[in-house]
Structures are given as structure tokens and as C-alpha cells.
Amino acid sequence: MANELPQNFEEFAEARREGFLLMKELKDKGRQVCGTFCQYTPAEIIHAAGLKQVGLCGRSHLPIKTAETRLPANLCPLIKASFGHVMEDSCPFAYFSDLVVGETTCDGKKKMYELMAEYKPMQVIHLPNVPDYDRSLEMWVSEVRKFKEGLEAHFHIRITDEMLNESIRWNNKLRTQQAHLYELGKYDPPAITGVDMNNVTDGFQFMFDDEEKYRKITRIIEECEKNWQEGIYPVEPDPIRPRLIVSGGGYAATNEKTINVIEELGASIVCYEGCCGISSLRRKVDEDESRDPIVRIAEKYLEVPCAVVSPNKRRMEQVADTIDEWKADGYVSITLHSCNPFAVETENLRRVCAGKGIPLLHIQTDFTPGDEGQIRTRIEAFLEMIREKKREAISHE
Amino acid sequence: MNKQELKRLIDDRHRAGKKVALSFCSHVPEEVLEAAGLCHFRLPYMEGMEDSASRILINNVCPLVKNVCDICEDPALSEADLILAETSCDGKKKMYELLTNQDRLYFYQVGQGADRDYVRPLIKSEVRYLIRELEKRFGIAVTDADLREAAKRVNEERESVLELMAVQRAFPPAAYGMEIYQALEESRTLPELKDRTSANRRAREAFLARKSPVSPDARRILLTGCPMSGVYEKIIHGVEANGGVVVAIENCEVMKTAVRHFDTEQENLMEAFADCYQNTACAIMSPNLRRFALLRQLAAEYEAEGVLEVTLQTCHPYTVERDRIQQLCKNELQIPYMAVETDMTDSDTGQLTTRIAAFIEML
């Protein structure tokens, strides 16, 4: 079984490219597609509406030039790339999207959507700023409901409570499995590499057959656990190997110079936190069907640990818990240039890490080449520092 | 204003038994602070602060956010009793979370749009939470009568700003834009609302009592964009030393705030808050239709011949909105438009002046 594993991972790694064809087939069959950008977009409602959901966050530096004819240069590359793709019609997923769903997360995206609406049918969900039940749940419920009604109007459908309940159950089930995948990193040595972990969760967005997707991830988890129990590890056991948590938002396009290098240089990424990270996956939607499903969905998403809310105490608590649970030795915050929320908040993460006695490395980068060397050097120094600490700790035992 | 003056004012208010609140954004409901008997300043750019921003913040963040960070961290101002941390732009709201003294902060939640269903209920509920917080924090009671009286004073101050700006409608305008901006900068730092109102009125009367120093040929420029307190000198000087005159200022330090009106006769005060603060033409609103309406109105009322947009580096709400403002000017208002981006340093003064001069020459 073990030698089949890389093949499975490969499938996920290739999912985005393969997804283009799958999506075209789906469209040819008359399925409708909803393009999204953000963890805040309630997947339960899109799924209940029978729509296929696909992530539209840009990852290429190529459309940025086009985007800069309308957007300022000093803006996050993800925002520019996503918008440039829509302007150019150069991203098949955006091209095939019948509706694009935006959210008022960060200033840059929120304002960009106003321009994107000139090119694509759009719905923008407004988010609360203070992640507090008393102060924000009411407005947030109103926005989630408005989103549901918007989908109904746009696609001429009706989304019943039964459909929502079923979708809630399904998404909880899927999310639980995704969380299990990250939990494989709790083993020492981890039962999966951080690069593979990322390939699977990232590839997930571009697989459109739900049942098959669930089967595949389940199989990967089972095989990884089985291998580990049998002493087959993805990396050699090593008491001084740094165990890292990686956090941040929207950095998928920088993997080659960031997370891949971290593992290439001998560290293990044991978990991800932040956008697409562990916290969102562990928080499920309440399945008590006697309560309004829209309210239950809103409750879950009010707890998304995104850096756009203030004061973001919940995220800081989750970060502290994640460090303990995954026994992390270091934290890497990867933020894109001009991403104010995640970059400014990194200072708060640094303080949490300091409280836990572990160091934090902040990498600020974008989609263009040129900074690989500098990033690699900083990662090397960071890892060496952690190894030194671990060596010392062992010698004192 | 420099920090020593502000420190003196704070100490002085404390001696008079008053608490002092600082805020940095026009979304914060002044009526509530006034009704609570606080001395409240919406601070302009402050010079001479100790640098904390470079220690706490990333480099690529708006210079105004850095200045607010310095103000809040400066030991000289540690006696201020309350800081209103509003969740307007990303940079500011995240910066507030990093400040050392979190007890002195209160997070006031701002909606992201003007016309969505949730906005009015949110304003009302946030105002109620703020009132409750002030009552608890300072052991006071804020009654409806207090709020009405406070709102009258805030309205008067807003009207005094509108009237001061209105002297620019004349041909030629009654003053240089620089004189108006300086008058407003000074009045903003007076501790009492009624003194700010009288100072604005006095400035207006002085401008009207003299013969306008402005050439009848000066090109009439409408300024729009980010708060300009830290950059107005080089910008307005660039305009007025090169054949232009600033006739109106559409930003949150001047017209965006002043055009709002609080209906003190409204039976339900919370409705009045919603009416007033929903009408905030700020770029964090999406879409920001009110700003487009306000620009249309001001361009007509002040007969602007050119629109000059001033944005601060890394201010995403305003820099991204630029594209649509440009379209508004070009396609609808048919008024020439130019945007400049700047920061609080002097390094770009020469380049800015050249560009502004070229723009005015083209008009």
C-alpha cells in the first residue's frame, strides 16, 4: 500500500490543473458554478443550492500587469491577480463561474469587488468586524440570509431548510476529515509531510465530485496512520527536527519558495493555521435541527479566525492551543505584500509565540521571482536556531 | 498641534474634573462622547511623537496609521482616559490591537456599507453599546436629554465648518484654501465644541470682512481623498502657488463629517444616529455611493474646474476607489482629474509640485 501513496498525493497536487477539464465537463452537463475567494463564504449554502464551488484566488503574476491598469500597484498580489484574470478572461474557473461571491474581508478585496462587478455577476457578503456574538451575530445572520436569498433569486431556485440541514451534515463530515488530515501532523515524526498536507487541502478546492473527494481523503488518512503504526514514516525520526506551524492567508502561489523550502531544509510543517487552517475545520455547524439553519451557519462563520476581525482574541487563543497540541517549536507567518490584516496581526502572533517560548519567522513575499534566495537564507537561519535550542534541551535532560 | 500642547490640554481638563477621549475617525459618534461630558478630540496628524510604529508595525502601512500608533503609545499622552478604536480600515483596526494599554481602548464597530439592511440596526446597537460602556467606565448616566443637547452642539460645529467652507463659493473665493485648512486645524484642537464653533465662525467673518487675496483667474480646485492633516501644506501650497485655489475639501476632516446632520427633533434618538452616521461618505463603505453623490454636489456648488485626489500610501480603500472616482470625473462630471499619492515626509514635495503645476496649467 505504501508505494501507492505518492500517487494519491500527486492526484491532489494536480487537481487544480485537472480541475479545468472537470469543470468544463460539468458545465457541459449544465451544472452551475459559484466562484469564491474566502473561508467566510458559507459553503453550506452553496452546496445546498446544488452549485459547484470553486476557489478563484489568483496565483499567477501574469495577470497583474493588466490589473494594474485599474488597481494601485501597492496592493496585495492575490487581489491584483484575481482581478486581472477576470479582466483578461484568463482563468478558466473564473470564466466558468455563473456567479462570483465576494465578501468584505480586507479593504483591498472589498473595494476590488466593486470593479469586478463590471465584468461578472457578483454577490458580496458583508462581514462583521467585531467577532462578538452579542454585538455582531444579528447583522451577520442578516447577511447570511441575504446571501441565501440572493442565490435563490439569481439561480431561480428555492433552498429549503431540509436542503440546508443535509448540506450542514455533509460539510461537517467533510471538514472533520480535513481536520483529521492536519491531525496527522501531531505524530512525531509526523505521519504526513506538510507539503503533502497542503497539496491535499489545496487540491480539494478543485475536485468537484463530493463522494469521491471524501473517499480519497479518507483513504489517505487511513494509509498514513497505518504506515506510521508500522514504522513507515514520511521523514526520518529525528529529535532535533523543527516542528513548525505555518500561518497566513493566500500564499498558495508562493509555496515553492516558502513551504517547500522549509521542508526541503529538514523541518516538518506539522499544521497550518489561519486562512484554510485547522481552526476553521474544527469548528462545526451545530446540527440541532430544531434551530434555524441560517443562524447555526452564521454562528460557525462568526468564529472564522481571520485577521480581518478586531479584537481577534479568539484567534490568539486558538494559536496558543495549536502550538501546545501539535508540540510546535516554531511559527512561520507567510503574508503577501500589502496584506495589512495578516501582516499587522503577525506582531500579535509573535507575542503569543513569545509567551509559549517559541520563535516566529515572518516572511513577506509576492508572486514574482527574485526573493527566493533571501527567503531561503532566513529560513535556514531560523531552523538552525530551533535545532540549537532542541539540542540544548536534549543535552539538559 | 504638538504633543506638549495636547498634554497640557489633557492635564488642564483633568484639573477641571473632566475625562479626555481621543478618536481618529469620523465614524465615531461624537454626540455620545459629548453627552457623556467627555472632552473629546478627533486628532489631526501630530508632530514630534516618539516613534513606536517602526517597532510595532510592518513598514508598508499607511503613514497615518503609524502616526496614530505613535500617539497612542507616546508616554506624554498616557493620561488620556479613553481611545476609541474604530474598526474602519484594516491598518488602523489591526494596529489598535497591538497597543500596549488595551484597557484604555474601546472597539467601536463600523459597518462596511451604507445601504445594506443590517447597517441601521448595527449603528443603533453600536451606539447603545458605546453609551453603556461609557456609563460603566466613568460611572455616569447619559440621558436622552443629554444626547439631544450634545447633538445640538455637534450640529452647530458641523454647520460652522460648512459655512466656513462656503466662503469659497464666491468668485474669486474669499480665501486661500490654505487659510481655511489652517483655521480648521486650529479649531479642531480646542477642547470645547462651542469654542471650535466660534473659532470657525470668527475665521469666516474675518475672511468675509476683507477683500479676497485670491486672483480672479485662479483655477478652482476640489480636493478629495484621504485625511490630509499631515500633508496639506505641501499639497495646498502646490495648488495655490501655481495658479490654483482650493475651493472645497471632500475628505473626512472637512466636508464628509460636516455634511452630516443629526436630527435633534427626531423622537427616537437611535433613528437619528442611524440617519446621521449612515451618511458617511467613507471609502471603507462598499459601495461608497454617498461619496459619489457628495462629489457631484460639491463640484456643482463650488464650480470646480479640476479635481485633485490625494491618497496616502497603502490606503487601500481610497487607492482602489480611485479608479471609479476618476471615471466619475471624466465621464459624468467632465472635470479634469488627477491623483497624487504621498506620505508625511517632504521628500516628494518637488515632484508633487511639478505634477500639480502641470495639472493646473492644463485646465
Q: Which residue type occupies A395?
A: S
Inter-chain touch A139–B316, beta carbons under 8 Å: no
Question: What residues does A261 pair with on adjacent strands?
Answer: none
> Which H, E and C letters describe B28-52, residue by residue?
CCHHHHHHCCCEEEECCCCECCCCC
Inter-chain touch A340–B94, beta carbons under 8 Å: yes
- Is ipTM > 0.90 here? yes
Residue A30 Ramachandran class (φ > 0 left, ψ -120 to 50 alpha, else beta): left
Distance from CA of A117 to the nearest CA of B (A): 11
| Arithmetic mean of pLDDT over chain B | 97
On whether any CB of chain A is under 8 Å from the CB of B347, the answer is no
pLDDT in tens, B64-90: 999 999 999 999 999 999 999 999 999
Distance from CA of B130 to the nearest CA of A (A): 11
Beta strands in A56-150 (DSSP E): 99-103, 122-125
Mutate which: B83, B92, B97, vs A, most A CBs within 10 A: B97
On whether any CB of chain A is under 8 Å from the CB of B104, the answer is no
On whether any CB of chain A is under 8 Å from the CB of B269, the answer is no
Distance from CA of B100 to the nearest CA of A (A): 11
pTM comes to 0.96
A268 within 8 A of A235, measured Cβ to Cβ? yes
| Of A285, A225, A267, residue with least CA distance to A389 | A267
**Torsion sign (Cα): A152, A155, A160, A162:** negative
Q: Tell me the mean pLDDT in the region A292-315.
A: 95
Inter-chain touch B122–A139, beta carbons under 8 Å: yes
| Of A278, A205, A195, residue with least CA distance to A235 | A195
Mutate which: A70, A107, A148, A313, vs B, most B CBs within 10 A: A107
Residue from the list A75, A104, A307 with its beta carbon closest to the beta carbon of B94:
A307
Q: Which of A151-165, A196-210, A366-380, B339-353 has the lowest mean pLDDT?
A: A196-210
C-beta atoms surrounding A395 within 10 Å: 7
Residue with cell 530551533: A386
Rounded distance between C-alpha atoms, residue B350 and residue A257, angstroms: 40
Inter-chain touch B313–A138, beta carbons under 8 Å: no
- Supply angle C-alpha A160, A164, A168, rounded to 5: 170
Residue from the list A74, A110, A307 with its beta carbon closest to the beta carbon of B314:
A74
A171 within 8 A of A53, measured Cβ to Cβ? no
pLDDT in tens, B240-284: 999 999 999 999 999 999 999 999 999 999 999 999 999 999 999
Which band of pLDDT confidence, cut at 50, 70 and 90, is reported for residue A279?
confident
DSSP A188: S
pLDDT in tens, B227-239: 999 999 999 999 9
Q: Is residue A101 predicted with pLDDT exceeding 80?
A: yes
On whether any CB of chain A is under 8 Å from the CB of B326, the answer is no
Distance from CA of B129 to the nearest CA of A (A): 8
Inter-chain touch A345–B94, beta carbons under 8 Å: yes
A363 contacts on B by Cβ (under 8 Å) = none
pLDDT at res. A8: 67
A348 contacts on B by Cβ (under 8 Å) = 97-98
Inter-chain touch A71–B320, beta carbons under 8 Å: yes
Inter-chain touch B97–A70, beta carbons under 8 Å: no
On whether any CB of chain A is under 8 Å from the CB of B186, the answer is no
Which band of pLDDT confidence, cut at 50, 70 and 90, is reported for residue A7?
low
Q: Which grid cell is B116?
A: 445594506
pLDDT in tens, B282-319: 999 999 999 999 999 999 999 999 999 999 999 999 99
pLDDT in tens, A323-354: 999 999 999 999 999 999 999 999 999 999 99
Q: Is residue B194 predicted with pLDDT exceeding 60?
A: yes
Residue from the list B90, B96, B111 with its beta carbon closest to the beta carbon of A340:
B90
Inter-chain touch B98–A108, beta carbons under 8 Å: no
pLDDT in tens, A239-263: 999 999 999 888 889 999 999 999 9
Query: Phi and psi (nearest 5°) for A256?
Result: -65, -30
pLDDT in tens, A166-208: 999 999 999 999 999 999 999 999 999 999 999 999 888 889 9
Inter-chain touch A340–B314, beta carbons under 8 Å: yes
Q: Is residue B2 predicted with pLDDT exceeding 90?
A: no
On whether any CB of chain A is under 8 Å from the CB of B58, the answer is yes
Distance from CA of B92 to the nearest CA of A (A): 9
pLDDT in tens, B320-359: 999 999 999 999 999 999 999 999 999 999 999 999 999 9
Residue from the list B118, B284, B322 with its beta carbon closest to the beta carbon of A107:
B284
Distance from CA of A223 to the nearest CA of B (A): 42
Residue from the list A72, A127, A343 with its beta carbon closest to the beta carbon of B58:
A343
Question: What residues does A245 pair with on adjacent strands?
Answer: A271, A331
Number of inter-chain CB pairs under 8 A, A vs B: 133
Mutate which: B27, B62, B68, B112, vs A, most A CBs within 10 A: B112
Inter-chain touch A126–B60, beta carbons under 8 Å: no
Inter-chain touch B60–A74, beta carbons under 8 Å: yes
Residue from the list B107, B116, B313 with its beta carbon closest to the beta carbon of A130:
B107
